[in-house]
Amino acid sequence: MRIVGIETSCDETAIGIVASGRRIFSNVVSSSLARHGPYGGVIPEIASRAHVETLWEVFAAALLQAQVAPEDLAAVAVTQGPGLPGALHIGLAFAKGLALALERPLIPVDHLAAHLYAAEMADPTLTPPYVGLVVSGGHTLLCVVHPEHRFELLGETKDDAVGEAFDKVAKLLGLGYPGGPVIDRLSDEGVAGRITFPRGHTKQPFDFSFSGLKTAVYHYVEKCAQGSRLKAEGNSLEPRVLNLERQNIADIAASFQEAAVDILVTKTLRACQRTGMTRLAVGGGVASNRRLRSRLAEEGAARKLQVVFPPPELCVDNGAMVAGLGFPLLAQGRTAPLSITSDPNLCLVC
C-alpha cells in the first residue's frame, strides 16, 4: 500500500511516496533555503511563495522517481502542524485537492511525530513504547511514544529550541544560515574544552533551556571583541567577530556545541532511566549533529539502550516520514474530513 506524504511546515517543499510505512519509493525535497540566507532566517512569506511555485513540480518528481501513477496512491498524508501558518495551509490545500480528485482518505500528521517515526523507518526493530527526543529548529522536547503512536510529553524547551541556538550562535560568529551544519563541521577544528559555557538549569528535570547558553556565548564573544579593540558597528557583533582568529571561532563553536549536546544527552538519559524505557529515538534537523549522535550512541550503549537515529536525509524535513507515519495512522482509522484546518501550534496530540 503506497501512501503519499506532503510536508510544507517550514522552508522545505517535500513529497515522499512510501509503501507499508517503511519502503521508500521516492523522497523529493525542494528547499527555499537559499532565498532566506540573506535575511539570516526563514521569511514566512518567501517560504509560502516557494511552496505555491514548486508543489506541483515536486509531486511530479516524486511520482516519476517512484515510477507510479497518481491512481496507485492509496491515501494522502499531510503535515497538519506545527509550523508556519501560511506554509502549512498551502500544503494542506494541495493534499485536500489530491484526496478529493483521487477519492482517497486524507491523513493529518503531526510534524514532530513524523520526525520520531523516521527512526522507526530506519530500524524496523524499533517499536513503541520508547523515549523520543525531538531536536529541530523550532522544537526541543522529550516524550514517551506509546503504542498506536500516542504521546506523553515529558518536557520541552522553556525558551529557544536547540536548532535555533545553533543558528543564532552561528550568526553571531559570522558563519551564515543555517548554523547547525557549519558549527558541526567547524567544531572538528576547535578545542571543545577551552571554554566552559553554562549547561542551562531548569526547574523540571526534563525541560530544556538554551537562552542562557546563547547569551553566555554572546558575552564571551563581546569580551574577545573588546580585547581586540575593534569598534562596534550597530548592535551586531558580527563585523567584529570576523576579525577573530579562525582557531578562536572554532574553539567557541566546539565549546558551544559541547554544552548544547551535554544538556541534551544528560536529560535524555535521565528520561530513559526514570521511565524505565530501554529504547530511544532521536528526530529532527539537529539529529544530524555528529557529536550528538556519537555521544548518545556511546553512552546509550554503556546503559544497554537501543538508540536509533534516522539517516541524515530523514532527519531534515521530508515527505517520506509523513507518508511513513500515515500507514499506521490509516490502519487505526485516524483519517480526517476535507473540512480540517492546519494547526500551527499542534504538539504531539495524544
Which spans of this chain sit near Zn ion (rule: CB under 5 A)? 136, 317
Minimum separation from the CB atom of position 168 to ligand KG4 (A): 9
Q: Does 310 bind ligand KG4 (CB under 6 A)?
A: no
- Residue nearer to ligand KG4 on the CB measure, 131 or 260: 260
Q: Which does 156 bind (CB under 5 to 8 A by kind): Zn ion, ligand KG4, none?
A: none
CA distances from 36 to 30, 42, 47, 265, 307 (A): 14, 5, 8, 31, 34
How many whole angstroms separate alpha carbon 283 and alpha carbon 315? 6
Q: Does 13 bind ligand KG4 (CB under 6 A)?
A: no
Q: Which does 163 bind (CB under 5 to 8 A by kind): Zn ion, ligand KG4, none?
A: ligand KG4
Q: Which does 288 bind (CB under 5 to 8 A by kind): Zn ion, ligand KG4, none?
A: ligand KG4
Neighbours of 256 (CB within 10 A): 28
Q: Does 184 bind ligand KG4 (CB under 6 A)?
A: yes
How are strands ordered across the β-sheet holding 2-7?
Answer: 23-31, 12-19, 2-7, 73-81, 106-110
Nearest 5°: phi and psi at 95? -65, -40
> Which residue carries 576547535 as its cell?
190
- Residue nearer to Zn ion on the CB measure, 207 or 317: 317
How many whole angstroms separate alpha carbon 119 and alpha carbon 127? 10
Q: Does 317 bind ligand KG4 (CB under 6 A)?
A: yes
Q: Does 81 bind ligand KG4 (CB under 6 A)?
A: no
Are 140 and 130 within 8 A, CB to CB? no
Neighbours of 202 (CB within 10 A): 16
SS (H, E, C) 155-199: EEECCCCHHHHHHHHHHHCCCCCCHHHHHHHHHHHCCCCCCCCCC
Which of 180, 190, 300, 324 touches ligand KG4 by CB under 6 A? 180
- Residue nearer to ligand KG4 on the CB measure, 166 or 309: 166
Q: Does 285 bind ligand KG4 (CB under 6 A)?
A: yes
Q: Which does 184 bind (CB under 5 to 8 A by kind): ligand KG4, Zn ion, none?
A: ligand KG4
How many whole angstroms separate alpha carbon 339 and alpha carbon 80? 12
Q: Which of residues 325-344 bind ligand KG4 (CB under 6 A)?
A: none
Which of 87, 121, 169, 286 touches ligand KG4 by CB under 6 A? 286
| Count of residues in contact with ligand KG4, rule CB under 6 A | 19
Which of 30, 32, 268, 288 touches ligand KG4 by CB under 6 A? 288
> Which residue carries 523550532 as its cell?
138
Q: Does 166 bind ligand KG4 (CB under 6 A)?
A: yes
Where along the sequence are the contacts to ligand KG4 (CB under 6 A)? 10, 136-138, 163, 166-167, 178-181, 184, 284-286, 288-289, 316-317
